[in-house]
A and B are shown apart, each in its own frame.
Chain A
Amino acid sequence: MAMPRRYGGSRFALAILILASVTLISLDARGYAPVDNLKKAGIVIVQPFRSLASVIFDPVGDAWESLTNGDELERENALLRSQLDELLDYRIANEGAVNDLAALRTQLDLQGLGGHQTVVSEVTAGSVSNFDPYILEINKGTQSGIREGMPVISTGGLIGRIENPGLRDARVRLITDPTVNIGVLAIGTKEIGILSGGGVGQPMRVIDGIPISAPVEVGSILVTSGLDRSPYPEGFAIGSVVEVIPDEVNLEKELLVEPTGEMNNLDFVTVVLYLPPEMN
């Protein structure tokens, strides 16, 4: 058996390191600016190495994705084909649908994005942690006018909000995060509820605020309410109702909602340069 080696002072060093870690955690949790600046400086220093590695490893990642998601892509393809057939049938059966769609777009104010300026940004990475899958990294930051809390959209609607923007990069916190709550309005009604993320692979939920008598059904579209101190402008599509669960005790409806915004395999997203009135 080997003789135990002795490392003098290691306990003292560990105590110092634990103390330093706890201090950092405490300062960062309070939003202490120098810690935030330290983070940003560290990211800037490592960025050239990441960019170089990205050039080398991106093809590997793409190949891996096509390998592991091949079956899923085939299934998705088949599903899309069947949906396309259904849509073509629907179009023939209902010529007025085009007018309805135009009216809906006007109502949602999707074409002009409410007159707000936007910045298109490339998605540089998904989550880099096993424990927080609700993050995207984008390659635009404060230099492009992006600020904390700004809404981020993709094809179909709102997908998240900006978090911790750096000079040339930022994080997007996705709306599927269970800690995210958004005030929503059901199109065609005046019912406002609070939508919460449901987690990975789970639908989002509206638990409070929709009376049981409200005309909100499966297929109803929910948009941002823009009311009170909402960080989002009104009228951005968030999701469509996929299930309605009546709560006879509280006389409310619980809604299960699928996001309308595309969140998978994103290459680009659009940041809406909107700040709530009290922050302007």
Chain B
Amino acid sequence: MLAVATIKSAIALLVLLVLQLELFSSLRFFGVMPELLLGAAIAAGWYGGPLGGAIVGFSGGLFYDLYLATPMGLNALTYAIVGYLLGQIATFLSDEAEWIIRITISIAAVTVGLLLFVTFGELIAEPNLYNKNFGKVLVVASLYTGLLMAPIHYMMAWVFGVARFPTSGFDR
């Protein structure tokens, strides 16, 4: 069971990484791209609990770190924490929470993730993270990722073998 989930999560993260690097790095709104792998950590926390969120977040962040000039592990650290926190929050929410609730919480979590990433980066004196575009990046990236959260939720539900989805929200 664990092996299946591991293989599924590796496939899902690879697909999201390639989409992030090859598609969404070009499809920018106001020069800002979505944070798909952060979205994956959030959705993994939702369906896999704190442990699943932390592990998928760490793995996704590590994948993404391969391609960034920031030190290896900075995204992994951030995404693991965000995945864990979402897992904790999700334990208090119903499995049938409406989509609007899922998306709203996901958008807030992306914002928290970006804030954490920049805060950790500043703590290790990493240049270029906090700049005059930070506010724009925070708002646009959160909303843009929020737009894409529904398929990411489906993907992570598949990874963790969760069959139950809310029947309200989009289906109404």
Contacts and interface: CB of A to CB of B under 8 A. Distances in A.
B64 to A, nearest CB: 8
Nearest to A163: B69
Interface of A: 1-2, 4-7, 9-11, 13-14, 17-18, 20-25, 27-29, 35, 38-39, 42-43, 46, 49-50, 53-54, 56-58, 60-62, 64-65, 125-135, 163-164, 171, 173, 177-179, 199-200
A88 B95 CA distance: 70
A60 B22 CA distance: 10
Nearest to B93: A2
Given A10-B54, A25-B77, A171-B69, A60 B23 contact: yes
A35 B72 contact: yes
A60 B73 contact: no
A131 B118 contact: yes
Interface stretch (B1-9, B80-88, B101-109): B80-88
A128 B21 contact: yes
Contacts of A1: 94
B71 interface: yes
Contact of A28 (B33, B58, B71): B71
A26 to B, nearest CB: 8
B26 A46 contact: no
Give the size category of B's interface with A. Answer: 35 or more
B25 interface: yes
B19 A39 contact: no
Interface of B: 14, 17-23, 25-27, 31-33, 35, 49-51, 54-55, 58, 61-63, 65-74, 76-77, 80-81, 84, 87, 91-95, 114, 117-118, 121, 124, 127-129, 131-133, 137, 141
Contacts of B70: 129, 131-132
Q: Which 7 A-B pairs have the closest CB atoms?
A: A61-B26, A24-B73, A21-B77, A10-B50, A10-B51, A53-B22, A28-B72
Contact of B73 (A22, A57, A164): A22
A123 B74 CA distance: 26
A173 to B, nearest CB: 8
A18 B72 contact: no
Contacts of B54: 10, 13-14, 17
Given A57-B22, A179-B128, A199-B131, A128 B55 contact: no
Contacts of A11: 50
